[in-house]
């Protein structure tokens, strides 16, 4: 059985970190959503041997154990003593090192797909627990639905479907190392925001409450090296976005508009200033084996 699995990108509508754990990892307070900009991951079992082969249409991506999709297959294969190998082909649409969780999305897609192909019968919660060993964003990407995320990324509380809106994405040319940004977080100086307020806004599907409650405390940290982030935010607001902020550790900036005509205006206007611009919407993934081909 061969499966093609959708791997949606994520956005951080809210990102704060109240403290660092003794192991150096941040405690997160996040609201995340998946968007309809997605990689596609083809998973084809190999009965000949136990090799894991990764290929992608992006030449510069690593295809060995440095690829998060490779790590996902290896962990499942080892933990469940699977005798088969697998060929993984990644069709990349999510910009790399952009704050949109592309590698984590691919790893989660491999975990979901191999759970079906190898008939492991693991629940999404079990897959999320395995995924945490790969990256803090993988548990969220297993579900790929709007959710509150806390702990080190392992506590996922699903939230209702977001009220309808459009998202304009603009990625500066610079790529950002998440690990580098996380090391630099100035905990004593962070302008913490009200997580509860954001959760109530999203739980009530109230966009008027949600937009002013959005935040990303990493924005000022990343913007020290990539000032274009602040310029793009200003441009988004000037062109009519109702809110604009960075996602993850950046450098991608996203704007929100309730109405398509306004979103299209922001999108078209930004194309003159930025190479990588997308117009997308939030999406929800159906994650059980019965939805597979
Ligand atoms: P994070 O989830 O840490 O915020 P990001 O979204 O900013 O990450 P990714 O696109 O996941 O960034 O890429 C980060 C690094 O991971 C890159 O240096 C890339 O080489 C490596 N990587 C490993 N596997 C993948 C993959 N399948 N897709 C994209 N990048 C990958």
**What does pTM read for this prediction?**
0.95
Indicate if 44 and 173 belong to the same structural domain: no
Indicate if 153 and 172 belong to the same structural domain: no
Q: Are 100 and 248 in contact (CB under 8 A)?
A: yes
Active site residue 44: no
CA of 237 to the centre of ligand 1 (A): 28
What is the pLDDT confidence band of residue 211, given thresholds at 50, 70 and 90?
very high
> Which domain does 244 fall in, by range?
166-282
Indicate if 173 and 124 belong to the same structural domain: no
pLDDT of residue 290: 62
pLDDT of residue 289: 67
pLDDT of residue 286: 75
Indicate if 134 and 191 belong to the same structural domain: no
Question: How many domains does the structure of the chain reveal?
Answer: 2
Nearest-CA residue for atom 6 of ligand 1: 101
Q: How far apart are the C-alpha atoms of 127 and 146, rounded to whole Å? A: 18
260 assigned to some structural domain: yes
291 assigned to some structural domain: no
Indicate if 71 and 24 belong to the same structural domain: yes
Q: How far apart are the C-alpha atoms of 281 and 293, rounded to whole Å? A: 25
Indicate if 13 and 131 belong to the same structural domain: yes
12 assigned to some structural domain: yes
Average the pLDDT over 43-61 and give the result. Answer: 92
Average the pLDDT over 102-108 and give the result. Answer: 98
Asked if residue 59 belongs to a known ligand binding site, the reply is no
Indicate if 15 and 131 belong to the same structural domain: yes
CA of 260 to the centre of ligand 1 (A): 30
Is 95 a residue whose pLDDT tops 70? Answer: yes
pLDDT of residue 272: 85
Indicate if 50 and 136 belong to the same structural domain: yes
Q: Are 153 and 248 in contact (CB under 8 A)?
A: no
Asked if residue 272 belongs to a known ligand binding site, the reply is no
pLDDT of residue 279: 98
Q: In the chain, where do the E strands start and end?
A: 3-16, 28-46, 52-56, 85-91, 147-151, 155-158, 166-171, 215-216, 243-246, 253-257, 276-280, 282-283
Average the pLDDT over 61-73 and give the result. Answer: 97
The CATH number that applies at residue 220 is: 3.30.70.890
Average the pLDDT over 264-283 and give the result. Answer: 95
Q: Does residue 61 have its Cβ closer than 6 Å to ligand 1?
A: yes
pLDDT of residue 83: 94
Nearest-CA residue for atom 18 of ligand 1: 97
Nearest-CA residue for atom 1 of ligand 1: 101
Q: Which residues contact 69 (CB under 8 A, 6 or more apart)?
A: 41, 54, 88, 90, 103, 106, 107, 109, 110
Indicate if 66 and 203 belong to the same structural domain: no
pLDDT of residue 187: 94
Q: If you average pLDDT over every residue of the chain, what do you get?
A: 95
Is 292 a residue whose pLDDT tops 80? Answer: no
Indicate if 7 and 143 belong to the same structural domain: yes
SS3 state of residue 166: strand
Cis amide linkage into residue 251, ω under 30° from 0: yes
SS3 state of residue 262: helix
pLDDT for 155-192, tens place per residue? Answer: 999 999 999 999 999 999 988 899 999 999 999 999 89
118 assigned to some structural domain: yes
Angle, nearest 10°, between helix axes 68-79 and 124-131? 120
CA of 91 to the centre of ligand 1 (A): 14
Is 85 a residue whose pLDDT tops 50? Answer: yes
The CATH number that applies at residue 112 is: 3.30.230.10
């Amino acid at each position: 059985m061969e499966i093609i699995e959708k791997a949606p990108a994520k956005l951080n509508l809210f990102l704060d970190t109240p403290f660092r754990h003794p192991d150096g990892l941040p405690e997160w307070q996040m609201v995340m959503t998946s968007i309809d900009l997605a990689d596609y991951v083809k998973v084809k079992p190999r009965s000949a041997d136990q090799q894991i082969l990764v290929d992608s249409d992006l030449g510069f991506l690593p295809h060995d154990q440095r690829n998060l999709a490779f790590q996902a297959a290896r962990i499942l294969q080892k933990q469940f003593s699977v005798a088969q190998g697998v060929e993984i082909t990644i069709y990349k649409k999510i910009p790399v090192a952009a704050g949109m969780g592309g590698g984590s999305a691919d790893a989660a897609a491999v975990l979901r797909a191999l759970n079906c192909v190898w008939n492991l019968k693991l629940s999404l919660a079990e897959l999320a627990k395995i995924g945490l060993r790969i990256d803090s964003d993988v548990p969220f990407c297993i579900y790929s639905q709007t959710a509150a995320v806390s702990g080190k990324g392992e506590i996922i509380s699903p939230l209702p479907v977001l009220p309808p809106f459009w998202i304009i994405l603009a990625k500066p040319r610079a790529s950002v190392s998440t690990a580098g940004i996380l090391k630099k977080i100035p905990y004593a100086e962070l302008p913490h925001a009200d997580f509860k307020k954001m959760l109530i806004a999203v739980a009530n599907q109230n966009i008027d409450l949600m937009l002013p409650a959005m935040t990303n405390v990493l924005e000022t940290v990343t913007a020290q090296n990539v000032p274009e982030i602040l310029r793009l935010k200003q441009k988004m607001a000037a062109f009519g976005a109702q809110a604009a902020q960075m996602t993850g550790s950046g450098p991608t900036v996203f704007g929100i508009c309730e109405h398509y005509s306004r979103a299209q205006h922001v999108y078209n206007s930004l194309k003159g200033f930025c190479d990588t611009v997308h117009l997308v919407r939030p999406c929800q993934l159906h994650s059980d084996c019965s939805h597979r081909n």
